[in-house]
Chains A and B, each alone.
Chain A
Amino acid sequence: MVDRQKRIGKLISGSLLSGLEAKLSEDVNVEDISVGRLVVVDGKENKFFCLLKDVSLQATNEDILLNPPSDDFAKQVHAGINTFYKLSIQPMLVMPQNPMEDDRPRPSTTVPPHFSNVCEATEKDVSLIFGKPDKNSPEIGSPIFMDVPVCLNLEKFCKRSNAIFGKSGSGKSVLTRMVLGYLIKSDLAVNLIFDMHGEYGWSATNESTGIDDPSLRQLLGSKVAIFTVDGDSPLYRRVRPDYDVQIPYSAIEIADLELAAGELGLTQAGIETMYRMSDKWGEEKWLSRFLEMDTDDFPAVVEDLKVNEQALGKLHRCLIRLKKLPFIRKEVADDTVERIMGEIQAGRHIVFQFGRYNSMLAYILVANILTRRLHKLYIDKTDFARAEGIEGPKPLIITIEEAHKFLDPQVARQTTFGTIAREMRKYNMVLLLIDQRPSGIDDEVLSQVGTRIVGELGDERDINAVLTGLPNQGTLKILINNLEPRQFLLTGFALPMPVVIDAKNYSSFCDEVSIGSGIILDAVKQKKVFDDLNTKVYGDDQIIFD
């Protein structure tokens, strides 16, 4: 790309609030213009960096619409005079035309003068805004239609809870993997990843090739520890997990079960019954005691707790499902949370996997139980550190998939995840929410999200949800509506201005972060050679067997 500005129009009207409008130059083909692009308005003393948010057909004359020109010559002649194209652009940042050494782009507080030139952003403009890639601000993609890095400022990213949204197939898992990989590489925070679908450990299936891509453990080696509740899973044929963990019944609180009420089929009466049992039999004992009972024991319980026998039977049938999760035991050898804490203090990053037990029930219970206890530990350690004036625990980022399960408006106020999201970084703990249904997440939580990475979303409600609390929602909405798979809108704290990117190619990411084990690079290259060979032999056509 040449670093010369291409003029695409002239500013004609608008306001800072509602956005600017420019007339498209006649020598630019409107079909080459697309929403989401970065454009620059050349003011007198400042450059205004803007987002192209809309293109529209305009006529200066009603008559031409009633009686349109018929031949190409007439169309050409009227173009730009009786008909023209209007570009709607949203000013975001401003920067002096001749910046001093330490001038940085800052939010624009006024508009450029009439008829200022509107140009396509150049590589230089983009790197001025998004910086140059380095360890703490890695490149995660490039602006659509441009081949320039867009960098994510990880130092800022770590300071808030963040979210990656997108419908299934939008590329969010791959992007999440890249973001996590860079975070791990930077060591700015420790990561705990609840890996529901087994994509963040050793390898992850690439849906387009069907071949396994290397994942975090393979790329980053011993920086990453794998915990699993299913040590016998075929997932670990090649590499053993570091820790095979169990959860004792005593660790399960009623609130955990309430969160999984839908999955367990619990009713309100059942929940009340649980509280009765807990009161009578002890918080840590009631569950294992209840699960060991059978129907013969119920009359005594009914007598004892003054509960309805039918309700009790139903509750028992619901909770007995926990027995299908073999990692939940009466007694366990050691304390998982202590182990996780130990790893965290040692600076290792944790991928927590579920193997074959990747049901929503198992996932919700485990993620919630562990996070609650970790959060308590973190609060204690942080408070202690503050009191003693020493360094607190390492900042921790907890990644959760299906975030809405933990943060829907009904439960977000009570769950640990809701608390963490709301208290921001007070106790050195933030969340990375991964979700395909952001509309299921509580508004208050959404508005606390620092940086949003938004991929393709189909549902209007989801789009509205991800915009909660953001400025320029109209513009952003248009941009989201135009996203394709593997394109993301990035907006928020870690970015100087919103931008739509093509996500970085995963294999270049692998080449970049890999700890250098030749085998992996070889595998990636080999796959490429294989792919190339495939295309040579079979052409680009994909054969799909249903």
Chain B
Amino acid sequence: MTDRIGEVIQVYTTRFLAQSDNLLNPPYFGSFVRAESQGMSIYGLVFNVYETSIDPNRRAMAFGIEREELLKQQPQIAEFLKVEFEAAVIGFNDAGRIRAYLPPFPPRIHSFVYPCSKQEVLDLTEDLEFIRSINSLPGLPVEELVAASIRLAYRERGSDRNFLVRAGQEIAQLLKDEYEKARSIIRRISDGR
């Protein structure tokens, strides 16, 4: 498929790491992606994107030239850089039905990763269960991630205010005992309107 954006290079039950296909169009933070593995689609929410040197023992160096200019002058530098992204697993497709919970196993290494279609985003976010999944995974920037993904799903819905309210209520409910956290997410999603 032509719209491939990456390839899985490390997996856990709850998250996977993928290497981006190109340096120019890495996936957005908070976007929905799909890994195709063993005939199953496994959905993830991108929560970390980083660019690094390909050699784990060497860091990139500062050149003092604007990136665009630098790559023009020394195109080989791009060969030493890579973009990787991490996605939290939020669901999978089981015989045509989208399930908003963890699949029995993660995607396999070297599976390809694609961006989710609009329909997939709608289906994944319809019952808002993904917010709960994200909230329960350790080490995620939960507040930012939830807000970013909801803003995205809201735009995919043609700015449907009802959805935004529903999402807000889900957050308020889920974070009943963490009012400040809920409040900060709600402020972030209401800004996105």
Contact = CB atoms under 8 A, between A and B. Distances in A.
B143 to A, nearest CB: 15
A55 to B, nearest CB: 22
B72 interface: no
Interface residues on B, range: 10 to 19
B169 A81 contact: yes
B73 to A, nearest CB: 49
Nearest to B167: A77
Interface string B151-193: 0000000000000110011011100110110110011001001
A73 B173 CA distance: 15
A80 B172 CA distance: 10
A80 B164 CA distance: 16
Of listed B165, B169, B171, B173, residue having the most chain A CB within 10 A: B169
A77 B131 CA distance: 15
Interface stretch (A59-67, A147-155, A287-295, A451-459): A59-67
A76 interface: yes
B180 A77 contact: no
Nearest to A72: B190
B179 A73 contact: no
Nearest to A68: B183
Interface string B35-49: 000000000000000
B186 to A, nearest CB: 5
Nearest to B178: A63
A309 B97 CA distance: 111
Contact of A82 (B179, B187, B193): B179
Interface in A70-110: 71, 73-74, 76-78, 80-82
A69 B176 CA distance: 14
A63 B179 contact: yes
Contacts of A77: 165, 168-169, 171-172, 186
A69 B187 CA distance: 9
Contacts of A81: 169, 172-173, 176
Interface string B12-25: 00000000000000
A76 B176 contact: no
Contacts of B176: 60-61, 81-82
Contacts of A61: 176-177, 179
B168 A73 contact: yes
A81 B186 CA distance: 14
Contacts of B180: 63, 67
Contact of B187 (A60, A74, A76): A74
A61 B182 CA distance: 12
B168 A76 contact: yes
Given A81-B172, A81-B173, A76 B165 contact: yes
Contacts of B179: 61, 63-64, 67, 82
12 contacts: A61-B176, A61-B177, A63-B180, A73-B164, A73-B168, A74-B190, A76-B168, A77-B168, A77-B169, A80-B169, A81-B173, A81-B176
Interface of B: 164-165, 168-169, 171-173, 176-177, 179-180, 182-183, 186-187, 190, 193
Nearest 8 pairs of A and B residues by beta carbon: A77-B168, A63-B179, A73-B190, A81-B172, A81-B173, A78-B172, A74-B186, A61-B179
